[in-house]
């Protein structure tokens, strides 16, 4: 693929200069992390070494040490800095401790600039926080947005809302049955089986799968934990469901957004609003076709609302921003973004009609809140999805 994501430009410029930290790419599977790394290696103006730990046989610390020695030898012979790219690093036993040792003892070594990436975000994050604290800078490679899919594949807004943002699936969109199989088998099943179940302690793996499937049938809807318990077999308790929703979120699959509350601690156990991080995850498990979804105005409205929520989750840094929703009686605001004392209420309208009483009631409760109407009579959907969310938070 010749298309270059914005993260490529950022990293290429950063790694072209001396850097005091290890740079890390994390993000969902199949969104182009390896492609970005190879594009950087090809275009950066210093020698680069790419090595992948994706091997049928388990690798150990010796593999990392070997790649490091290769980089040192190249830098010594060329007299220039060297970029070392280590892919699928989470598959190497003790990878974080080994990399920490090499990095901390590089004082007398040539200028080695390190870029690491892995398909298991859960495993990468665990190693980073436990062994490499203070030694890395995290770059998030998110699901593809509308503007990227339009530029790379010529998709319309409607196609992106239905097919989501997995570039590898674009070749299958002409045959929706094959597309659904690809998303289900190559993405959903792989992430659940290899990233979540193998990397985290999950006492009830069947429940985790059923919870994800339930979320996919209820995009952008708030569902009480009590109702979930009634629909899921062997569901255990609300604490288990809340924990599994957090696991799905850490795997970039789905979030259970909390109810917004200012000035007091949020009520634990409140009905979470289910948002899938990519609409492909919704429609691959649905029996509706693209044409059926467009014709069903209620379902299409859910897809658009979920796409807005996914756009917020994918592009807003969770450390700086909080994404929630608000409800009081029959009044609801689709999404609430907060950053410190700044609050924005977002109402999504996919049709030409509909009341915005929820937004009005919310602003009467929180007078400092700013309002954003997305869709009909507000920011056109195409405009909203074509810019970073922060462009609208002014």
User: Do residues 69 and 104 touch, judged by C-beta distance below 8 A?
Assistant: no
Residue 109 pLDDT > 60: yes
Q: Residues 172, 55: one domain?
A: no
Residue 40 pLDDT > 60: yes
pLDDT in tens, 142-163: 999 999 999 999 999 999 999 9
pLDDT reported for residue 269: 56
pLDDT in tens, 354-391: 556 799 999 999 999 999 999 988 999 999 999 999 99
- State which residues form the domain around 26: 6-140
Residue 264 pLDDT > 80: no
pLDDT reported for residue 361: 92
Q: Residues 284, 331: one domain?
A: yes
Greater pLDDT, 103 or 319 = 103
Q: Residues 386, 333: one domain?
A: yes
The long-range contacts involving 143-147, CB below 8 angstroms and separated by at least 24 positions, are: 143/27, 143/28, 143/31, 143/252, 143/277, 143/278, 143/310, 143/314, 144/5, 144/31, 144/32, 145/311, 145/314, 145/315, 145/385, 146/382, 146/385, 146/386, 147/385, 147/386, 147/387
**Within a domain: 149:** no
pLDDT in tens, 177-227: 999 999 999 999 999 988 788 767 888 888 999 999 999 999 999 999 988
**Within a domain: 30:** yes
Contacts (Cβ under 8 Å, ≥6 apart) of 84: 48, 49, 51, 67, 68, 70, 71, 112, 113, 114, 115
Token duo for residue 47: 């020698």
Q: Give the CATH number of the domain where residue 129 resides.
A: 3.40.50.300
Residue 28 pLDDT > 60: yes
pLDDT reported for residue 121: 66
Residue at token pair 């770059």: 139
* Crossing angle of the two packed helices 61-78 and 95-104, in degrees rounded to 10: 30
pLDDT reported for residue 87: 94
Q: Residues 177, 128: one domain?
A: no
The upper half-sphere exposure of residue 308, i.e. CA atoms within 13 Å in the direction of its Cβ, equals 32
Token duo for residue 109: 């070594």
Residue 353 pLDDT > 80: no
Percent of the chain with pLDDT over 70: 94
Between the CA of residue 365 and those of 66, 245, 325, 328, 357, what are the distances in Å? 61, 29, 14, 10, 12
Among 106, 140, 174, where does a domain finish? 140
pLDDT reported for residue 99: 94
Residue 64 pLDDT > 90: yes
């Amino acid at each position: 693929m010749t298309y270059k994501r914005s993260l490529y430009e950022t990293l290429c410029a950063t790694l072209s200069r001396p850097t005091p930290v290890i740079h890390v790419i994390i993000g969902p599977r199949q969104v182009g992390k390896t492609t970005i790394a190879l594009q950087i290696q090809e275009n950066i103006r210093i020698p680069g070494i790419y090595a992948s730990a994706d091997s049928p046989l388990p690798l150990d610390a010796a593999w990392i040490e070997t790649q490091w020695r290769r980089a040192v030898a190249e830098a010594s012979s060329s007299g220039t800095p060297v970029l070392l790219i280590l892919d699928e690093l989470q598959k190497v036993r003790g990878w974080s401790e080994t990399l920490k040792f090499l990095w901390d003892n590089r004082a007398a070594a040539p200028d080695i600039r390190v870029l690491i990436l892995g398909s298991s975000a859960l495993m990468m994050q665990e190693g980073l926080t436990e062994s490499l604290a203070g030694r890395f800078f995290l770059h998030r490679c998110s699901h593809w947005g509308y503007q990227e899919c339009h530029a790379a594949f010529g998709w319309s807004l409607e196609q992106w809302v239905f097919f989501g943002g997995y570039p590898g699936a674009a070749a299958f969109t002409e045959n929706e049955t094959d597309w659904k199989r690809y998303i289900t088998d190559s993405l959903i099943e792989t992430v659940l089986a290899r990233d979540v179940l193998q990397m985290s302690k999950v006492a009830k793996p069947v429940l985790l799968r059923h919870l994800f499937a339930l979320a996919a049938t209820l995009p952008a809807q708030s569902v009480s934990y009590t109702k979930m318990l009634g629909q899921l077999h062997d569901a255990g308790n609300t604490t288990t469901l809340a924990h599994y929703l957090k696991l799905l979120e850490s795997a970039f699959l789905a979030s259970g957004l909390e109810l917004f509350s200012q000035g007091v601690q949020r009520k634990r156990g409140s009905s979470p609003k289910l948002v899938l991080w990519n609409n492909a995850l919704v429609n691959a498990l649905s029996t509706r076709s693209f044409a059926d979804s467009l014709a069903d105005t209620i379902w299409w409205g859910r897809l658009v609302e979920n796409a807005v929520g996914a756009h917020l989750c994918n592009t807003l840094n969770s450390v700086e921003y909080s994404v929630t929703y608000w409800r009081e009686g029959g009044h609801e605001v689709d999404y609430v973004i907060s950053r410190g004392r700044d609050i924005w209420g977002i109402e999504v309208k996919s049709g030409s009609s509909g009341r915005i009483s929820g937004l009005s009631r919310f602003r009467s409760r929180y007078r400092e809140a700013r309002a954003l109407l997305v869709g009909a009579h507000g920011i056109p959907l195409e405009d909203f999805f074509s810019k970073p969310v922060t462009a609208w938070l002014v």
